Amino acid sequence: MLIDFVINFCILFTFAILTYIPFQNKLNVYIPSYNYARFILGILSGFTGCLLMLTSVSISDFFIVDGRMAVIALSGVLGGPFAPIISGTIIGVFRLFMYGFSTNALIAGSSTIVIGLVIGLWSWKKTMTFQNVPYFFGYSILQTSIVLGFLGNWKFETWLAIISFIVFSVLSFSIIFVILKLLSSLFEKIKHIEEMSVTDYLTGLNNNRKFQECTQKLIENNEVFSLLLLDIDYFKKVNDTYGHPVGDEVLKELALRIKNTSKPFEGIVSRNGGEEFSVILRNTTDDKSLEISDLIRLAIEKNLFLISTGEELCITISGGVSTFPEDAVTTHELYKLADEALYLAKTSGRNKVVHINHS
């Protein structure tokens, strides 16, 4: 009997791991669209529940114990409301005909279907998470125990089956629950580290690494775009007068304005270092890129920067633009030309944007 319990648990454990990792998109592996994933998870959960019943542990001639309730509950965490409804229905129908159709089979199968429906509808209003899934699971255990007692007329043999069912279900669910929760925490940390590797720590924008990746991808796809480089005018004076903490305040506010202004044009904003920022403007050539760039410049110039000292600073920026593939066909060349245009903007008065073709 112990071997049978171990086999049943191993099937349940394998299901949990093999469905959790790919369907939660934690490690950048392929996952189906969410529209399909919830149905796929429901079907996988249903078939896993059927397999658990086929390898169930016989307590008596009338009672079997397996981990199907854990499958139904966990499917809701992984696949949303539809998954427990689908899995509960598949498992319930299979239970109807597993040992031949009978009144007891009808009651047991119907109970499983109802559990799936209740958990699914309940999770529609209260999204299932690792924090609340024990309550959903507890409900399934309670209802199943009552059904077992009803079918067995609450005899000693029935109580033995109920206790065995509760102990095995709770123990197996608890082990898998802890493992999946630890995996979830680990994957969140990995995801955070990955985001930090491509994110500027101060402004939350893309860093130079991410900028290089985005630019190279657009070039490989042969997509027309313009590269705008921006630099704060006289930023050293801000740091020297007010200190670097205030300088950081200016950089964060500047990043927010650039991001908000370029968002309607799907601009990809990065902080390339120090007070230098870049905006990738997709599907834009000379005139359009200058138009958008000037909107960004005006968003900086026309609104004063309120700093922690209570003072308001007038900040301006200068910009340089180059366009792919008209001006260059590599990231290095585009950046170099945009930087040259930025230098022209600086030396010809600042607070302006220059396209390398209009210099």
- CA–CA separation, 318 vs 339, rounded Å? 11
Per DSSP, what are the bridge partners of residue 278?
229, 270
Q: What residues does 199 pair with on adjacent strands? A: 206
State how far the Cα of 5 lies from the Cα of 8, in Å rounded to an integer. Answer: 5
From 268, 267, 261, select the one nearest 214 (Cα to Cα): 268
Q: Which of 157, 195, 275, 333 is catalytic?
A: 275
Counting Cα atoms < 13 Å in the Cβ hemisphere of 353 gives 26
Distance CA 304, CA 340 (A): 28
C-alpha–C-alpha distance, residues 44 and 49, integer Å: 9
What residues form DSSP beta bridges with 94?
none
In which region does residue 318 sit, left (phi positive, over 0), alpha (psi from -120 to 50) or beta (all else)?
beta
Residue 253 annotated as catalytic: no
What backbone phi and psi angles, to 5 degrees, belong to 308? -65, -20
Element (H or E) spanning 98, and its range?
none
The span from the CA of 169 to the CA of 227, in Å, is 59
Look at residues 268, 297, 272 and name the one whose alpha carbon lies nearest to residue 281.
268
What span, in angstroms and rounded, lies between the C-alpha atoms of 356 and 359?
5
Which regions of 44-185 does DSSP assign to beta strands (E)?
A: 57-58, 64-65
- Determine the length of the chain: 359
| Rounded Cα distance, 100 and 105, in Å | 8
| Residues contacting residue 197 through CB under 8 Å, at least 6 positions apart | 209
Catalytic residue positions, numbered: 275
